[in-house]
Chains A and B, each alone.
Chain A
Amino acid sequence: MILKATVLLIALFALQRVWQLSPGFGIHSKGYIHRPGPCRTVKPIQTGSEDITLTDNGIAFISSGLRLNLCKQLFDKKIQQFTGRIYKFNFNDPGHAAVEVALPRELEKDFNPHGVSHWKDASSDELWLFVVNHRKDNDNVEVMKYNHELNSLSLVRSVQSTMFTSVNDILAVGPNSFYASNDGYFHGCLRPLEVVVGLALGSVVFFDGVTASLVVQRQSDLNSMALSKDGTRLFLTKTFEQQINIFNISKENGNLMFDRAIDVGVSIDNIYADPVSDDLWLGAHSSMFLLSQHMTNLDVKAPSKVVRVHPLGLETDRFESYELHSPFGDDGRLISGSSSAVYYQEKMLVGSISDTLVFCDIIV
């Protein structure tokens, strides 16, 4: 009797998880092709461009060569041979290839970059680059200074914390301070189980330059972060739940107060908040099913999509209502597994987890 009840309970739970995960899985999604204008891949990137951070004068820094340390057996062996790099792309000179940025000597042999962010000093024009680095033993946040003339990065500090369980993205809010999103807890082959069961072990950490504190806890499926135009709101993406969570930021201590969630209807990855228009640009996966097949075998194409969320609400509550647009869709042949998108003056850059980087002119 108890056995029957237990089996039934497990079956119901499994059914509920399948129900929750299946829209995000997108087994029936088709990757229709459409472009906002002429699009092409950016040389020489072929081993991923997972995250992109864009300065206000059109310089994009791209993390490349990500080797996810989540059950290596599930991933294509080729990924383990990827080299972690940072590339630079200039929107003001888009005909030029992406240029590799020289890494600090300390990181050359231990660099596995994921999310990136930057901080620019308004008066001095100094630029800091913040990169999530999956080092051999822990996840660190590398805070680096960019030297424009030498096109090189020097390590300012390497931030470690026991609160960094599985860092995905980073959001700089000062030369020394940032938010870090933990997309889960377990590494290795316990992670797929964590996702399937839906364990709420993700969190967001705020580092004020001295101490780290948990500002969002007991969440699952957290991914990427961006800051609103006026710096008062933080946007956080949830991939399988296909949502953006909006938080208000406390000026005193960086705490986050949940405001609202907006449904985007597709499995979104990294988010970019346009500082000019307030629009949110997202790299998205039309089918997590095909994405997982692509990650197991890179020759399998995974459909890509860019979503633009355009707020329609008033100043006090911009995202009370919104419109969903999609400037770019691909069946995977130009770019597979699109994870990020940034916009600058009628041009767009689309990044992917383990594939190419695409540049588009936007003419519609």
Chain B
Amino acid sequence: MIWKCVLLLVVAVVMQHCYKLALIMGYHKTVYAHWPGKCHSVHPVLQGSEDIALSEDNLAFISSGLRIQVCDLDGIDPRNNEFVGRIYLFDFNNPEAGASEMILPKGMMGPTFNPHGIDTWFDSATGRVYLFVVNHRADEETVELFTFDRKNSNNSLAHVRTYREPEFRSLNDVLAVSSEEFYVTNDGYFRNCWKTLEFLFLLKWSSIVHVTQEGGGEIVATGHALNSLGKSSGLVFATSPVGRFLNVYKRNDDGTLLLRHSIDVGTGIDNIFVHPHTMDLWFGAHPIGHAFLEHTTNLDTPAPSQVIRLHPTGEQDDPFSSVELFELFSDSGKLISASSSVAVSGNRLLIGSLLQKLVYCEMTVPN
């Protein structure tokens, strides 16, 4: 009798877990196309534009060529292994010029350079732009720090430092708080074949690490598949594309984080862009989980893309207690597949993808 109850319980738990996975896979979902205005691909980006960071003077830094295979058995399209890690520059003040490839320092090429999340920090005293880049080296996870001098650089990046910390397990995004202090996300605990099991069992082993000026990393938050980071007036944000939620943390003076809200966004939000003027949060997103996975196993299979704007509507002391969600861009994969990032300047939109193109849109509709 007891065994029957135990068996029933196990079956119920398994069924509920399968239901959760089915929701993540999004077999029940359909994508409806709509654009905010005229959109076109930005030349010559073809191997992804996974993350975008916007500097003070409307220059967008774009990481490209991300190689995502972590396990020989994960079925990733072998063409992705041939991708070349690059940083592109796109000038919103001159959108017709397309994206230009930045000159990287010697040593930042081949298996040594596999860029993922990026962020900028502007030093107003020196006029220098610092660029933090998550780098999946062949055998370790690092964060590279570069500088860019708009006036004297001829489009090149100078390498300043490589950060290595034992807390760097499976890095995804980086958030700069000064030229010497930043946060990173581990989107999981494992970096290898165990990652698949970690995903299937929906384990909450991802974390946010705080790296201070003094050196050393400290885990300041954990959660389910945390991905991208952003900040705005004392708050830090973290997305979860698998969990389909946005975490809002209060940032304490010592750099630790306190979770205030976990907001269900209903779609796989990836990289976050905090609008410098409106404080709205913009996301590149993956609306249908299984289509995203199919695209990674075969780059010719389109995956739907989506851009979401989250507008906080709560009181001044707790703005994210209630939110409005806008969908600025939705595509079946015809124009761009697996949109992972977005940057906004005025009424113009730049949309980046995990493994594919970069798209520029004019937003004609006041949204």
Given A28-B23, A33-B327, A264-B30, 14 more A-B residue pairs with CB atoms under 8 Å apart are A28-B266, A30-B265, A31-B325, A33-B325, A34-B330, A265-B29, A265-B30, A324-B33, A325-B32, A326-B33, A331-B324, A331-B325, A364-B35, A364-B365
Across the two chains, which residue of chain A brings its CB closest to B27?
A23
A265-B30, A324-B31 known; A34-B327 Cβ under 8 A: yes
Indicate whether A307 reaches chain B with its CB closer than 8 angstroms: yes
Indicate whether A84 reaches chain B with its CB closer than 8 angstroms: no
Chain A, 254-265, contact with B by CB distance < 8 Å: what is the 0/1 string? 000000000111
Tell me whether B325 and A32 are in contact (CB under 8 A).
Answer: yes
Chain A, 10-32, contact with B by CB distance < 8 Å: what is the 0/1 string? 00000000000011000011111
Tell me whether B266 and A29 are in contact (CB under 8 A).
Answer: yes
A305 to chain B, nearest CB (A): 8
- What are 21 contact pairs spanning A and B, CB under 8 A? A22-B28, A30-B265, A30-B266, A33-B324, A33-B325, A33-B326, A34-B34, A34-B330, A34-B365, A35-B367, A263-B30, A265-B29, A265-B30, A265-B32, A266-B30, A324-B32, A325-B33, A326-B32, A331-B324, A364-B37, A364-B365
Across the two chains, which residue of chain B brings its CB closest to A30?
B266
B142 to chain A, nearest CB (A): 37
Residues of B within 8 A of A (CB): 23, 28-37, 264-267, 308, 324-328, 330, 332, 364-367
Across the two chains, which residue of chain B brings its CB closest to A263?
B30
A237 to chain B, nearest CB (A): 15
Chain A, 277-317, contact with B by CB distance < 8 Å: what is the 0/1 string? 00000000000000000000000000001010000000000
B residues near A29, Cβ cutoff 8 Å:
266
> Complex Cα distance A47/B264, Å?
31
> Complex Cα distance A323/B324, Å?
28
> Complex Cα distance A307/B31, Å?
11
B304 to chain A, nearest CB (A): 11
> Complex Cα distance A35/B329, Å?
11
Selected contact of B33 from candidates A22, A323, A329, CB within 8 Å: A323
B residues near A32, Cβ cutoff 8 Å:
266, 308, 325-327
Tell me whether B28 and A307 are in contact (CB under 8 A).
Answer: no
Indicate whether A95 reaches chain B with its CB closer than 8 angstroms: no
Tell me whether A363 and B327 are in contact (CB under 8 A).
Answer: no
Tell me whether A34 and B30 are in contact (CB under 8 A).
Answer: no
**Chain A interface residue number, banded:** 20 to 34
> Complex Cα distance A209/B37, Å?
48
Indicate whether A198 reaches chain B with its CB closer than 8 angstroms: no
| For the complex of A and B, 6 pairs with smallest distance between CB atoms | A265-B30, A326-B32, A30-B266, A32-B327, A23-B28, A33-B326
A residues near B328, Cβ cutoff 8 Å:
34
Across the two chains, which residue of chain A brings its CB closest to B330?
A326
Residues of A within 8 A of B (CB): 22-23, 28-38, 263-266, 305, 307, 323-327, 329, 331, 363-364
A residues near B32, Cβ cutoff 8 Å:
265-266, 305, 307, 324-326
Across the two chains, which residue of chain B brings its CB closest to A329?
B327
> Complex Cα distance A33/B35, Å?
13
A residues near B36, Cβ cutoff 8 Å:
364
A residues near B28, Cβ cutoff 8 Å:
22-23
Selected contact of A38 from candidates B23, B264, B366, CB within 8 Å: B366
A321 to chain B, nearest CB (A): 12
Tell me whether B23 and A363 are in contact (CB under 8 A).
Answer: no
Max count, chain B CB within 10 A of own CB: residue among A29, A35, A38, A327: A35
B295 to chain A, nearest CB (A): 19
A323-B332, A363-B364 known; A36-B308 Cβ under 8 A: no
Tell me whether A326 and B265 are in contact (CB under 8 A).
Answer: no
Selected contact of A364 from candidates B31, B266, B267, B364, CB within 8 Å: B364
B residues near A31, Cβ cutoff 8 Å:
325
> Complex Cα distance A263/B29, Å?
11
B324 to chain A, nearest CB (A): 6
A residues near B35, Cβ cutoff 8 Å:
364
Max count, chain A CB within 10 A of own CB: residue among B28, B36, B267, B364: B28
A30-B266, A323-B332, A326-B330 known; A363-B365 Cβ under 8 A: yes
Max count, chain B CB within 10 A of own CB: residue among A29, A32, A37, A38: A32
A residues near B332, Cβ cutoff 8 Å:
323-324
B residues near A38, Cβ cutoff 8 Å:
366
A residues near B366, Cβ cutoff 8 Å:
38
A residues near B30, Cβ cutoff 8 Å:
263-266, 324
B residues near A263, Cβ cutoff 8 Å:
30
> Complex Cα distance A152/B156, Å?
74
> Complex Cα distance A265/B365, Å?
26
Across the two chains, which residue of chain A brings its CB closest to B29?
A265
Tell me whether B365 and A36 are in contact (CB under 8 A).
Answer: yes
B residues near A265, Cβ cutoff 8 Å:
29-30, 32
A346 to chain B, nearest CB (A): 13
B residues near A326, Cβ cutoff 8 Å:
32-34, 330
Across the two chains, which residue of chain A brings its CB closest to B362?
A364
A93 to chain B, nearest CB (A): 23
Max count, chain B CB within 10 A of own CB: residue among A28, A29, A36, A266: A28
Tell me whether B365 and A37 are in contact (CB under 8 A).
Answer: yes
A35-B367, A38-B366 known; A30-B267 Cβ under 8 A: yes
B residues near A30, Cβ cutoff 8 Å:
264-267, 325
B residues near A364, Cβ cutoff 8 Å:
34-37, 364-365
A242 to chain B, nearest CB (A): 8
> Complex Cα distance A263/B28, Å?
12
A234 to chain B, nearest CB (A): 24
Across the two chains, which residue of chain B brings its CB closest to A328?
B34
Tell me whether B367 and A34 are in contact (CB under 8 A).
Answer: yes
A residues near B37, Cβ cutoff 8 Å:
364
B residues near A22, Cβ cutoff 8 Å:
28
Tell me whether A327 and B34 are in contact (CB under 8 A).
Answer: yes
